[in-house]
Chains A and B, each alone.
Chain A
């Protein structure tokens, strides 16, 4: 019984993460402008990675390997939003951003 509950939790978390990643990939390829694509790709790094790692954590139980997984999530949560932030600043500095902000009537 316990094993089935654990399997259920693991599967649900992994599926959530994979769904988030799929949506993000679709978004990266569907959107046209850098900031929109960045918005889609940022979700993959944070939500998708968190859910997948938590799923693996649930499958493995509490051990050194699963703690390393959590460390990887922590590092990704530090680095991924900051890389998005830097890309946004670079776009703001170099692209002609008003062309995209213009409201067409």
Chain B
């Protein structure tokens, strides 16, 4: 009975508070006893960290200098220098040409608000009048971006995918199970992670309550995308934010339980979502261009299983967005999933 009380939440919280304040008091006393040293009002840890940073900065500067010298040694011969000059001239010329062409195009556009502006054409009318019966989506915006302009949305999802790919290339640090660095750029193990407050009980309790609701809200927005405002992008962003909150509260061991959020899982989920999107759109383009009847009908407008391919495509986009947000967060913070 007594043991159970020892480990109850209020007791643990009390212990945490008391331990923290005692440690702070001891620290203060030690500093006071040490008296006025070389750096009187800075704790040891901060000094050490500053020194370390200084050292790392010096090393990085040296590296950069070496690369610079090496590059310039290569440009010593006359011919190479001439080629370089020509290249610079051509590049400047090309950039000026592009800027001029763009500015000329802008100056030829009709003034904003004029009735013959390209925005006021028959396409918008068609979307509003025939959108419901052609796509079956009550939410006209979802019908537009995932049916009429689904190819454009595939491009947007691919932009997210490419962004996370480049971040992976630049920032990925391979960690072993205990958090040590296996491979990665030099100095990548020395991150700020260890200075951050960890295992905060208040945040953990809040996350336990809030995260399920946040994930549920995100799923609702994704699954109801063709009926109400929302869809894959906004719902995925909500889900990603919930995952980030959970990681902040419980650490990476919490999300890595059941191997749900590993690198391989991320790779396969993103690939599967994008591939399914592309395949299903291929199918619908094929049937539409050849005037065939698609297997996936539009259904009755307003029910959850309606609007043809919009619901599965929303789910795909939602997965890609959620994984991208979570991946960005973890990569920028730690360098691995």
B197, A96: Cβ atoms under 8 Å?
Answer: no
B1-9, B154-162, B202-210, B258-266: which lies at the interface: B202-210
A93, B202: Cβ atoms under 8 Å?
Answer: no
Partner of B196, one of A78, A82, A90, A98: A90
- Bound: A78/B42 CA distance, A: 34
B197, A90: Cβ atoms under 8 Å?
Answer: yes
Interface size class of A (residues with CB under 8 A): 10 to 19
B203, A82: Cβ atoms under 8 Å?
Answer: yes
Q: Is A79 interfacial (CB-CB < 8 Å)?
A: yes
Partner of A89, one of B31, B46, B197, B206: B197
What total of A-B pairs shows CB separation below 8 Å? Answer: 34
B41, A102: Cβ atoms under 8 Å?
Answer: yes
- Bound: A99/B42 CA distance, A: 8
Q: Is B134 interfacial (CB-CB < 8 Å)?
A: no
- Bound: A90/B198 CA distance, A: 10
B54 to nearest A CB, angstroms? 16
Chain B window 186-207, contacts with chain A (Cβ cutoff 8 Å), 1 for yes, 0 for no: 0000000001110010110010
Question: In chain A, residues 88-105, which have Cβ atoms closer than 8 Å to a Cβ of chain B?
Answer: 89-90, 93-94, 96, 98-99, 102
A96, B210: Cβ atoms under 8 Å?
Answer: no
Q: Is A85 interfacial (CB-CB < 8 Å)?
A: yes
A86, B195: Cβ atoms under 8 Å?
Answer: no
B197, A93: Cβ atoms under 8 Å?
Answer: yes
B210, A78: Cβ atoms under 8 Å?
Answer: yes
On whether A78 and B206 interact (CB within 8 A), knowing A90-B197, A93-B195, A94-B195, the answer reads: yes
- Bound: A104/B272 CA distance, A: 63
Q: Is B43 interfacial (CB-CB < 8 Å)?
A: yes
Interface core residue of A75, A79, A89, A99 (most chain B CB under 10 Å):
A89
Question: In chain A, residues 43-79, which have Cβ atoms closer than 8 Å to a Cβ of chain B?
Answer: 75, 78-79
Q: Which residues of B contact A89 (CB under 8 A)?
A: 197, 200
- Bound: A98/B206 CA distance, A: 30
B202, A98: Cβ atoms under 8 Å?
Answer: no
A79, B206: Cβ atoms under 8 Å?
Answer: yes
Q: Which residues of A contact B43 (CB under 8 A)?
A: 96, 98
